Structure 1
């Protein structure tokens, strides 16, 4: 990419050159669509355009291109064609294209119904590292890895599965956490309960080798992480997504919105949401501190979005707490803000997000 080019002139003019190349790519893609010459490369280009525009804070264009990608993929029966290819480069390329569209749409909080329910069985997940480097595997993880016949899915499959719950959580946020007016959040029929149930159901299906209890990151050096970046980057993303999903579900603002007008609020529910927020924000901040200590470079704005969620919780709680505890919340907020600003050195979306976090009201 232009932003990471070794050419100094390219890096200095990254924004302008990126816009120029994006416009040229857009024109080529639209010409192919108009002429009816849609190929796998057309769908791949639409995914890249959508992602780049999202990172550059042009969400309208991003959604247009991602919508085009999923519509064309559905019309071309991409899911079916990817499923019918067995082995080889063609099968892997189609699988990656299919899951790239699904993952992109889910991370953007958009529907994937037209593609992922088109056929009963989805294509196999794209190839990715199936287990962490042995130096990072805990004794429990080593016992799991030594079991004969155990075949773990790659780490990217874990991210893809989590993205389904992430998309449902974004829908919950857009609805301000609301269900039907008479449905309280602790009801089994609420959006809160439905989304939490999705996450709990998923927990039974995720490969154990990728779980935190099977890994000991504290033993890893910066070089260890960098040498196996193809595993650790998606692994950290999976942790960020997981903890942020629970933080969003229990966000004090959304919970307060749902409590308005309700008499007889469940004290147990409020205690549970408070515990969840405390527990998962602590884990999230632990991972930020770990990444900073190991100088593991993060440039993906989805990490920054997750940090922004935690930052809003910390700043809200800082107004409730006094003295040392209130100061700790403000320090946590500042740590999240700096994390976002660092990613903002690469992407405009993060600069705007950092500005919003610093704008009163």
Structure 2
């Protein structure tokens, strides 16, 4: 046991050193206003706003920023990051804890590292990227020294911090991908050590119970998204998730409790339409399918056996069957305007926390189809089969990939037209996959298709350029 702890400590020290080294390799920050999404509503806590004391607060000074700057960054987090797609905090509880100095410093710094890229406060003019790296490194130093020592009991705040820092490293570019992979895995193990995958917190308030669930499901979602690559298997096994899915946003804001379905119940199609789960729960269910898509097309993993993809007993057919089920469940054919209309508030503001999961679940749905039917990935998969692929199957898959790439861009276009922002870092990956399919169609022999593909490709590149102002990994995708 002692030698294991020593090895873990050596790994943590190595990560700490690499974080300090990478600070010098980050390019100069972009202007804080470049590419920033439109302002969204911040009136989500039932009209109650929690502000720190106007007097000098040593706890505020410890963060190295003025009080008004800290509040501006926290506002930016809940405007642009909460539920897009991760849901780590009950906003009213977090703001109250910040006022009462009850939030661990490492967690506040992790929130600042995540949100400062969206903050328009002049304090960060031309240096938001530089400051985000500083906040992330300081948070990691604190988490290593305060939480990863013998005798310390794991807490939910530790999971929140490590998950946010793992996300930060993953979106900071390739130089930090190695540490990101370790941190996400660490967040998974700490969450499991806290028992977050179980319904074992009945002694807590409904709001606290739901926050625990959402922290676990956010880590699950992060685990599935960062595993969309070769040699990156997910760390969480679906069979170990014994807690219910998240409840709807309004119920959580009001601090009420409600019984929802489990992931297994939802994905096994035991729900009727009247039992439709909330948008964030839908995100989790589609992420589960995305994980299977990634295993199938990127890691040559078979659950049902080595059947060719056109075989009805293949993993390909099983995944597509589940996607067809969720096409009806998510009402994919329903116009985006109708889906988002209830979340357009007065004076053109929008409820980004409620609308974010609706947009993201649809984007993940289209991403699943794009990955499963991507011409390059599917050809690679077919090459492992001993049978010749039917021409009709190849054409059908190519048409499906093109259709969902078009629908991906239409989803983003319509959402932005209505004033909603789809700007999470993982949206860059989704648009890159769709864009690669669109790029192939620019060489189509059919002239109208070729022209449409050229327009959509420019649209995809323009979108990636916009969100690339906030996410370094997206800038890398554009230049690849």
Instruction: Normalising by structure 2, report the TM-score.
Output: 0.62
SS for the counterpart of 2:453 is helix
Determine if the alignment matches structure 1 residue 211 to structure 2 residue 335. no
**Distance in 2 of aligned mates of 1:179 and 1:319:** 36
**Residues 54 and 90 of structure 1, relative CA distance in 2, 3 Å threshold:** same
Offset of residue 247 of structure 1? 1.3
Offset of residue 178 of structure 1? 8.2
C-alpha contact (below 8 Å) 2:248/2:278 kept by paired residues: yes
SS for the counterpart of 2:244 is coil
C-alpha contact (below 8 Å) 1:314/1:329 kept by paired residues: yes
Q: Deviations over 1:65-107 (max 9, x none)?
A: 1100111222332223556457523212211221121111112
C-alpha contact (below 8 Å) 2:166/2:184 kept by paired residues: yes
Q: 1:326 aligns with which of 442, 447, 450?
A: 450
**Distance in 2 of aligned mates of 1:44 and 1:82:** 19
Q: Deviations over 1:233-264 (max 9, x none)?
A: 21111111101111111111122223437554
**Residues 307 and 23 of structure 1, relative CA distance in 2, 3 Å threshold:** same
Ranges in structure 2 where 5+ consecutive residues have no aligned partner: 1-114, 228-232, 252-272
Aligned to 1:128: 249
Ranges in structure 1 where 5+ consecutive residues have no aligned partner: 131-148, 357-361
Q: Which has the higher helix share?
A: 1
**Residues 321 and 215 of structure 1, relative CA distance in 2, 3 Å threshold:** closer
Provide the aligned C-alpha RMSD in A.
3.1
Pairing of 1:203-282 with structure 2 (within 5 A): 206=329, 211-213=331-333, 217=337, 220=341, 223-224=344-345, 226-260=349-383, 263-282=387-406
**Distance in 2 of aligned mates of 1:213 and 1:316:** 25
**Distance in 2 of aligned mates of 1:99 and 1:83:** 16
Aligned to 1:61: 179
**Distance in 2 of aligned mates of 1:325 and 1:177:** 34
Determine if the alignment matches structure 1 residue 76 to structure 2 residue 194. yes
Aligned to 1:169: 293
Offset of residue 276 of structure 1? 1.5
Aligned to 1:19: 133
Determine if the alignment matches structure 1 residue 8 to structure 2 residue 130. no
SS for the counterpart of 1:352 is helix
Determine if the alignment matches structure 1 residue 41 to structure 2 residue 157. yes
Offset of residue 282 of structure 1? 2.5
Aligned to 2:266: none
C-alpha contact (below 8 Å) 2:369/2:400 kept by paired residues: yes
Which is worse superposed, 285-294 or 37-46? 285-294
**Distance in 2 of aligned mates of 1:74 and 1:316:** 43
**Distance in 2 of aligned mates of 1:86 and 1:56:** 36
**Residues 290 and 215 of structure 1, relative CA distance in 2, 3 Å threshold:** closer
C-alpha contact (below 8 Å) 1:106/1:166 kept by paired residues: yes
Aligned to 1:30: 144
**Residues 93 and 293 of structure 1, relative CA distance in 2, 3 Å threshold:** closer
**Distance in 2 of aligned mates of 1:233 and 1:5:** 19
Instruction: Normalising by structure 1, report the TM-score.
Output: 0.81
**Residues 179 and 159 of structure 1, relative CA distance in 2, 3 Å threshold:** closer
Offset of residue 9 of structure 1? 3.0
**Residues 203 and 33 of structure 1, relative CA distance in 2, 3 Å threshold:** farther
**Residues 93 and 216 of structure 1, relative CA distance in 2, 3 Å threshold:** closer
SS for the counterpart of 1:78 is coil
Aligned to 2:216: 98
**Distance in 2 of aligned mates of 1:278 and 1:77:** 42
**Distance in 1 of aligned mates of 2:388 and 2:117:** 55
Q: Deviations over 1:143-168 (max 9, x none)?
A: xxxxxx95643211111111101111
**Distance in 2 of aligned mates of 1:292 and 1:227:** 11
**Residues 266 and 177 of structure 1, relative CA distance in 2, 3 Å threshold:** farther
Which is worse superposed, 53-62 or 314-323? 314-323
**Distance in 2 of aligned mates of 1:321 and 1:82:** 59
Number of equivalent positions: 332
**Distance in 2 of aligned mates of 1:301 and 1:90:** 27
Q: 2:469 aligns with which of 320, 332, 345?
A: 345
Offset of residue 182 of structure 1? 6.5
**Distance in 1 of aligned mates of 2:191 and 2:160:** 10
